[in-house]
Amino acid sequence: MTVLADTWCNILNDFPAYAKRGPAPRNLETARGGRNADVRPQMTLELFRQSNQADCAEIPIPDPVLELYSLYRPTPLIRAKAFEEALGTTSRIYVKFEGQNAAGSHKLNSAIAQAYYFKKAGVERITTGTGAGQWGAAISWACSRAGLDVTVFMVGVSYRQKPLRPVMMRVYGAEIHESPSEVTEVGRAARIADPQCLGSLSIANGEAIEIARSIPGARFAVGSGENHVLLHQTVVGQEALLQMKEIGDFPDVVTACVGAGSNFAGISFPFLRRSLRAGKAVRIIAAEPVACAKLTRGIYAYDLSDASSTTPYVRMMTLGRDVVVPGIHAGGLRYHGTSPLLSAMYQDGLFEARAYRQLQVFETAVLFARATGLIVAPESAHALCAAVDAVREAPAPISVLANISGHGLLDLSSYDAYLRGEMDDGLPDETMIARSLSLLRQRNEYAEAI
């Protein structure tokens, strides 16, 4: 059996310039008319250090974190031969399956680490926002193990689509609220602005930040986007490297879905490093929904991460914080932007991106389930779509690795909607996207002009 990876891959060591990005122009504060409050003090010193250090290639995983990892790691690397046969391809398709743990997804990798560091720093309560609920379930269990209280705000449309995820969180001891809620100013304002509001991760995070700033001993934790979260997830790719070496193969293509970027970075960073240092060519593909195509349709600009206007402006690939994303069933991919680090890497051409319609995603997921027996999360099915495209477009047989970031056993109502023909393609409102991008450009241009 593969030995558990005991270090995280610090990609900033390979690209130190990404650790030296300057702050956003201060004039953006005037452009938004908001307060210049910085959320970074919510991080512990160790997490802040992990998000910025470039002087070491590997960061040792603390023993208490490894002890909890060992309950479910290493996770399986599976050759999906039956899926290959269903596709009629002679290419090799591997999947790294992250669904075999208490939370059912890769999110537990960072939740355990963050709970450890927050507890060590004397924090008593964690507040957070979650999209489809994988992160909420993960941080709830991790905080239970660490002896921390936790308050979770879950995006409303996913809260209703996936009612068993809030139950999971409550079982693990979390206080859970549908977002937008009535317990925060951010939530109440969102409800007044749009009584039928679907909710968004930016609103959920804004509510969580508001609570964190109002309760002594509380801190806000984030499940994706920040560099330290991407770092923690590289245990996935570190393991996959060892597993691929054991079977004597190396992927020509690595795919993963991308929302804010945690599972995508987790699988791809170690392979990107191996490609750079060992001269092993690898093509990396980020798969996103057409409903929220920030990489393939967004712009690289300064934008806010949350609806409370508390977090600082960061430069990222974004559709703009004003966009309202359709209520697709891959709720974990509805975030309007992508990690600043990944955004910079995308600008430099280190990986590519493709967008998929909701019906194609579920068609591929059902085909995969019938072939392999694995029902995957709707988010993860986007990675399978990219894998299928890669093998079909290749002029000769290739090796493809897809990261399956979580199981879909709590998403069966979504599969049911697809099988009943009650699902649409999740196409965005083009007028709304155009308006949001226009406002985003205006804010950035105004900031540059004054």
Domains, the chain, with CATH or none: 70-103+227-449 (3.40.50.1100), 108-222 (3.40.50.1100)
Q: In the numeric block, which tokens belong to residue 225? A: 């986007």
CA distance linking residue 350 with residue 352, whole number of Å: 7
Residue 12 DSSP class: G
Please, what's the largest Cα pairwise distance for the chain?
60
Q: Whose structure tokens read 């290739």?
A: 398
Mean pLDDT by 10 residues, the chain (450 residues): 84 93 64 46 88 95 98 97 98 98 97 98 96 96 98 95 95 97 95 90 92 94 95 98 96 97 98 94 97 97 78 90 91 94 97 98 98 98 98 98 97 97 97 95 81
Q: Whose structure tokens read 């910025």?
A: 52
pLDDT on residue 29: 57
pLDDT on residue 401: 98
pLDDT on residue 334: 92
- Nearest Cα neighbor of 237 from 422, 80, 407, 109 is 109
Give the CA distances from residue 384 to residues 16, 53, 75, 188, in Å, rounded to whole numbers and listed in that order. 32, 33, 18, 38
Q: In the numeric block, which tokens belong to residue 276? A: 């750079």
**With contact defined as beta carbons under 8 Å apart, do 240 and 270 qualify?**
yes
Query: At residue 110, what are phi and psi to the nearest 5 degrees?
Result: -85, -30
pLDDT on residue 11: 98
CA distance linking residue 401 with residue 351, whole number of Å: 15
- Beta bridge mates, 406: 105
Give the CA distances from residue 199 to residues 298, 409, 422, in Å, rounded to whole numbers and listed in that order. 20, 23, 21
- In whole angstroms, how large is the CA radius of gyration of the chain? 20
pLDDT on residue 33: 44
Q: Is 257 helix (H, G, I), strand (E, B) or coil?
A: strand
Give the CA distances from residue 194 to residues 93, 187, 298, in Å, rounded to whole numbers and listed in that order. 44, 11, 24
pTM of whole model > 0.85?
yes
Query: At residue 299, what are phi and psi to the nearest 5 degrees?
Result: -125, 160
Q: In the numeric block, which tokens belong to residue 147? A: 């002896």
CA distance linking residue 58 with residue 229, whole number of Å: 15
Residue 337 DSSP class: B
* Overall size of the chain counted in residues: 450
Q: Whose structure tokens read 């359709």?
A: 326
- Beta bridge mates, 300: 317
Task: Find out whether the peptide bond into 74 is cis, omega within 30 degrees of 0.
Answer: yes
pLDDT on residue 103: 95
pLDDT on residue 43: 84
Q: Are strands 92-97 and 125-130 parallel, antiparallel or unpaired?
A: unpaired
Give the CA distances from residue 370 to residues 82, 85, 158, 257, in Å, rounded to whole numbers and listed in that order. 9, 12, 25, 21
pLDDT on residue 111: 98
- Beta bridge mates, 252: none
**Helix pair 227-247, 108-120: axis angle to 10 deg:** 130
CA distance linking residue 155 with residue 331, whole number of Å: 8
Q: Is 274 helix (H, G, I), strand (E, B) or coil?
A: helix
